[in-house]
Structure 1
Amino acid sequence: MNNPFQYLEPKEIWAHFDFINSIPRASKKEKAISHAMIAFGRHLGLETHQDTSLNVLIKKPATIGLENRKKVTLQSHLDMVHQKNNNTAFDFNKQGIQMYVDGDWVKAKGTTLGADNGIGVAAIMSILASKTIEHPELEALFTIDEETGMTGAFELQPGYISGDILLNLDTEEDDEITIGCAGGIDITGTKKYIPNHTNMRHSFYKIVLNGLKGGHSGMDIIKGLGNANKLMTRLLYEINKTEIFQIISLNGGNLRNAIPRESECVLAIENPVEFKQKLKKVSEVILTEWHTKEPNMNIDVTKSKITKTGMSPQDQTVLLQTIYACHDGVFTMDPNIGDLVATSNNIASVNVAHGNITIACLTRSSIESEKEDLTNMITSSLKLGGFDVTTTGSYPGWHPDPNTSIIKTMENLYHELFDSKPNINACHAGLECGIIGKHYPKMEMVSFGPTIRGAHSPDERVSISSTLKFWKFLTSILKNIPHKK
């Protein structure tokens, strides 16, 4: 069978993307892909290093005639978000991503694609391997664990990189040049409850709410998409007003940086007929409200096996009130940049079973004081519900500086190549530039990339034509890097 990627342009990017997607590379499980990059650099005969965090650095001398240009650090992260549809049988620890071509898009079969940030990695590999692309002195920095803590960027040691300009290849609109991003913090609430015996005369049912679009909890939060955890909570909260049921388990979402697409709850129900009537009524209201933004949302109820223990009425009421009270979605918009979210929260996962409750959030903001304000608000809601709260993984935002030499070079080149002006902006996603900038404050930084849709969800896809456009832009930038002072 022919490999569909052999016909795509630029051939070198798709070949390298196919290679790295054959290697499982979940966040915090990057050992195999890190070692593969070491082997790649050494095979090319280039100076190659791996630090104790598994970050990889590969250096390449300037091509003839560009020795007097500023040194460039090309940077992308090796890890990818692992998400799959519930009905997809796939082992991320053992299998490579199963990709296919659909018109102008490369997609994956029922899982995330890993274009975030695999296309960036593949582009850098293509430049390192090329014998014809003109460029200044280069160093390629491949970081680990960007998606779940930015550990690789945090643990960079002083002097590990030495570029004058950082080109981060990790944004998702090909007409954008990003010069700033949000910071973030993980908020986790945990609580124990005493399991109560269930009434064996009750009926046991499972409610599944699914079919939501999901997506990136930073870039897509502005779209106002449905959060499965919030919607399931609303459903149960309304039914709990009039019907008697007992929560056996409740599970929705599993990654902080992905808007949860699915939630399921197992209940013991006193009166199934009346319960189903109320469920249908509340479901119709929710589905009607959301039919435009979430046209594929589905709410199903099926029989479930008998379970001996569940939550007490008091515990489940407090649980539902706590989740209901927690803010989810956009909190504030940036007052200085149009259509940019300043601060937001994603109620990323809710897990209730066997006497333990965990609620995990990711709060983002480009304004440090607002990040603290929203963190205090969510922490207060959780603590009022009796939860123990921890905050971890805080990372800084990246303050925009539109006046650097590389921004002006890129703006002029974009207009020359594509006869239009690029959108120079900041984004609500967390990029490693903020952290790297703390380590190397004098380094000019910019982020850009091809068009990617549905990142952090099984709907993730990358545009083929946009990847070619991105490649043309990237290689032109390297050829036109400003001179050293």
Structure 2
Amino acid sequence: MNAHLEQLSPAPLWRHFRTLCDTPRPSGHEAALVTTLQRWADGLGLAHDRDAFGNLRIRKAASPGHEQAPGVILQGHLDMVAQANADHPHDFTRDPIETYVEAGWLHARHTTLGADNGLGVAAALAILEDETLVHGPLEALFTLEEESSMGGALNLAEDWLEGRLLLNLDSEDRGQVYIGCAGGADVIVDARLHTEPLAEGERAVCLALTGLTGGHSGIDIHKGRGNANRLLVRVLRRLEAFGARLADYRGGTLRNALPREAFAILALPAEELEPVRTRLAALEGELRAELAGVDEGVTLSLAPCETPPETVLTLHASQLLVAALHAAPCGVERMSVEIPGVVETSNNLGVVSLADGRLHLCALVRSLRDSATAGLADRFRALFELIGARTRVENAYPGWTPDPESPLLARFCRLHRQRLGADPEVKVIHAGLECGILGGKYPHLEMISFGPQIRGAHSPDERVELASVEEFWGLLRALVEDLAVSPDH
């Protein structure tokens, strides 16, 4: 599959990206790809090893005469976000990604594309096999489970990497270079809520909220898009006036993706079914008006439940849960004062599920300030502890403190200006690049992050601009060579 990718330019990069598209690699299922890359390295005679967590490192000796150049680490993550449209069956552990080109952009059919971070990985592999490139000592570090937990970076072996300059290839904006990023933490909530049988005279109905755009919970959080969990909970709150009680709920699939859809099973008094339909039509209109220009396709639908649940939450438990979810922090909490236009602190109400009275929730808190991450996470915990839930904070990772005086940054900007005729925008991103974690483990590392133009990451709308990939490849290749031959670093 995806043979057409090898007709694109630059050919070496796209050939490797084809391998990534044809090899399933959702978070936690990177083993087959690791094996493929190890065999590839063996075929080229490149040294490779893995740390205890399973992160993969491939090394290439310096070009003759450039052994004293600073060691360069090319870094990306092997896993991808697994998101498909609800009406498209796709097994991300078995099925390849099907790609197509349209109007200068590469897309996937009904699923995420995996350009995040597959193009960075493909570029690193293409650099390693380029025999025409003059370079210093090279290491390619490929981490695991970045999208699900930052697990690879958090568990990276210390005293393992040898280079002192790290090029993170996991950015998504043409003409920009990143020198700092937000840290974050997962807030996990579990609770056992009181249930009782469906009452006589009640009917079970399925309520769905669909049609949202979704996106990345960091870089898209300030764009005003709808969060399906937040919106459906708001609707549920309004339906309590009709005696609605929750029996089942599922919304969102990843804590770092803005939820596009959410579904609930409700118990309603039979006589309230038609009034509820009328109310939902009005609520749909309200939501579409509020989300005009970003998510006006939001849709509310109600249908009979073919298999009624055996139990539903008691009225008190249902109202308590809906109130807590309704009050939970969600979206932008604070904008940065020091870096205008950048979100400082946010929270994504990412995954919510309820079945047989058991609630599970996973939210992702992000901030440029580690203290603000901890503060918002604790506030979230405090709220749900009020309803008797068990809460915990997991997978906390630090932010990446910007260094605008970095010589590596200055060199990149010089090359960008020479090749493209303009300085890049120097940026700080409200997303969890692995650089903050890597810098904590290897404080001596000098780092920048750059990449091609990717849009719609973490959603089936993900796409990459083909021209930007050629630009990205040229910059990367020029920077690696410049670091080997120029004495000013």
Give the TM-score normalised by the residue count of structure 2: 0.96
Letter in 2 for 1:267: L
CA distance in 1, matches of 2:91, 2:28: 16
CA shift digits 1:380-434 (9 cap, x unpaired): 1111222111111101111001111110000111111111110111111101111
Q: Does structure 1 conserve the Cα–Cα contact (< 8 Å) formed by 2:52 and 2:157?
A: no
Q: Extract unaligned runs of 5+ from structure 2.
A: none
Determine helix, strand or coil for the equivalent of 2:394: strand
Q: Does structure 2 conserve the Cα–Cα contact (< 8 Å) formed by 1:60 and 1:138?
A: yes
Determine helix, strand or coil for the equivalent of 1:358: strand
Q: 1:2, CA displacement in angstroms?
A: 8.7
Determine helix, strand or coil for the equivalent of 2:181: coil
Q: 1:158, CA displacement in angstroms?
A: 2.4
Determine helix, strand or coil for the equivalent of 2:16: helix
CA distance in 2, matches of 1:2, 1:259: 28
CA distance in 2, matches of 1:469, 1:410: 13
Letter in 2 for 1:36: T
Alignment of 1:44-443 (within 5 A): 44-240=44-240, 242-270=241-269, 271-305=272-306, 306-443=308-445
CA distance in 1, matches of 2:70, 2:256: 35
CA distance in 2, matches of 1:204, 1:317: 17
CA distance in 2, matches of 1:158, 1:294: 45
CA distance in 2, matches of 1:385, 1:422: 49
CA distance in 2, matches of 1:304, 1:156: 47
Determine helix, strand or coil for the equivalent of 1:301: strand
The 10-residue stretch of structure 1 (166-175 or 291-300) with the greater mean CA deviation from structure 2: 291-300
Letter in 1 for 2:429: C
Count of residue pairs the alignment pairs up = 484
Q: Does structure 2 conserve the Cα–Cα contact (< 8 Å) formed by 1:30 and 1:54?
A: no
Mark the CA change 1:2 to 1:111 in structure 2 (over 3 Å): closer, same or farther: closer
CA distance in 1, matches of 2:34, 2:406: 32
Q: 1:484, CA displacement in angstroms?
A: 7.5
CA distance in 2, matches of 1:7, 1:352: 47
CA distance in 1, matches of 2:65, 2:123: 23
CA distance in 2, matches of 1:151, 1:311: 35
Alignment of 1:430-469 (within 5 A): 430-469=432-471
Q: 1:227, CA displacement in angstroms?
A: 0.4
Q: 1:194, CA displacement in angstroms?
A: 2.5
The 10-residue stretch of structure 1 (423-432 or 303-312) with the greater mean CA deviation from structure 2: 303-312
Q: 1:249, CA displacement in angstroms?
A: 0.8
Q: Does structure 2 conserve the Cα–Cα contact (< 8 Å) formed by 1:70 and 1:483?
A: no
CA distance in 2, matches of 1:51, 1:96: 27
Give the TM-score normalised by the residue count of structure 1: 0.97
Q: Does structure 2 conserve the Cα–Cα contact (< 8 Å) formed by 1:453 and 1:461?
A: yes
The 10-residue stretch of structure 1 (179-188 or 264-273) with the greater mean CA deviation from structure 2: 264-273
Mark the CA change 1:483 to 1:157 in structure 2 (over 3 Å): closer, same or farther: farther
Residue equivalent to 1:483: 487
Determine helix, strand or coil for the equivalent of 1:124: helix
Q: Extract unaligned runs of 5+ from structure 1.
A: none
The 10-residue stretch of structure 1 (419-428 or 269-278) with the greater mean CA deviation from structure 2: 269-278
Q: Does structure 2 conserve the Cα–Cα contact (< 8 Å) formed by 1:328 and 1:346?
A: yes
CA distance in 1, matches of 2:57, 2:238: 54
Determine helix, strand or coil for the equivalent of 2:53: coil
CA distance in 1, matches of 2:155, 2:264: 40
Q: CA RMSD in A?
A: 1.5
CA distance in 2, matches of 1:245, 1:298: 19
